[in-house]
């Protein structure tokens, strides 16, 4: 059975990490439920909500080209219509530090973990290179050139 975005499946929790839980789906396929997709409320520790071998209903929210499957427990739960309307105004797209919509997903979709990680690495490398430039340009600085 091909796994498609939007389908709801039953799965068994096979592993728990600080960033989420791995769920074994049909056919030996494993997907990740990110910590932000476990419950509607804030989740500080995944162990408070899930245990290994728990059976859970998940919704497939993305399938990457390399085979990674993103799952959601909180989206798999059908909410009454009045709850959906109350939460709708609160939900906004991802924002950058200035409060503007972020570029990768805008308001349409939230960026995946890989998008966030690549953005973090890019920003981190830029900051490190700027720091090296500023310390090398100062005389006698720790990163200064030696003859």
Q: With respect to residue 51, please indicate whether it lies within any of the assigned structural domains.
A: yes
- Both structure tokens of 36: 């932000």
The secondary structure of residue 137, as a DSSP letter, is H
Q: With respect to residue 83, please indicate whether it lies within any of the assigned structural domains.
A: no
pLDDT at position 1 over 80? no
pLDDT at position 129 over 90? no
* Residue 147 to residues 129, 134, 142, 144, Cα–Cα distance (Å): 22, 19, 14, 10
Q: 102 and 68, same structural domain?
A: no
Higher pLDDT, 124 or 133: 124
Q: 118 and 60, same structural domain?
A: no
Return the pLDDT at 13.
94
Return the pLDDT at 32.
95
- Where do the DSSP E strands lie in the chain? 8-17, 20-24, 30-34, 55-63, 69-72
The domain in which residue 131 lies consists of 98-135
Q: 13 and 55, same structural domain?
A: yes
Across 16-20, 65-69, 133-137, least confident range: 133-137
Q: What angle do CA 141, 144, 147 make, to 5 degrees?
A: 130
Return the pLDDT at 133.
81
pLDDT, tens only, 79-126: 766 655 555 555 555 555 556 555 554 455 678 888 899 899 999 998
Q: 72 and 13, same structural domain?
A: yes
pLDDT, tens only, 34-81: 999 999 999 999 999 999 999 999 999 999 988 899 999 999 887 766
Higher pLDDT, 8 or 28: 8
Length of the chain, in residues: 147
User: What's the mean pLDDT in 20-29?
Assistant: 90
Reference 17, options 59, 61, 47; nearest CA is 47
Return the pLDDT at 61.
94
Q: With respect to residue 14, please indicate whether it lies within any of the assigned structural domains.
A: yes
């Amino acid at each position: 059975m091909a796994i498609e975005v939007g389908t709801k499946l039953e799965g068994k929790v096979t592993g728990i990490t600080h960033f989420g839980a791995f769920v074994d789906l049909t056919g030996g396929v494993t997907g990740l439920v990110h910590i932000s997709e476990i419950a509607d409320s804030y989740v500080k520790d995944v162990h408070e909500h899930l245990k290994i071998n728990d059976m859970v209903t998940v919704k497939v929210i993305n399938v990457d080209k390399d085979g990674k499957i993103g799952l959601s427990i909180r989206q798999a739960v059908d909410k009454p219509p009045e709850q959906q309307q109350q939460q709708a105004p609160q939900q906004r797209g991802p924002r950058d530090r200035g409060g503007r919509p972020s570029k990768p997903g805008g308001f349409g979709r939230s960026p995946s973990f890989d998008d966030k990680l690549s953005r973090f690495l890019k920003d981190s490398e830029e900051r490190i290179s700027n720091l090296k430039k500023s310390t090398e340009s100062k005389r006698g600085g720790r990163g200064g050139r030696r003859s």
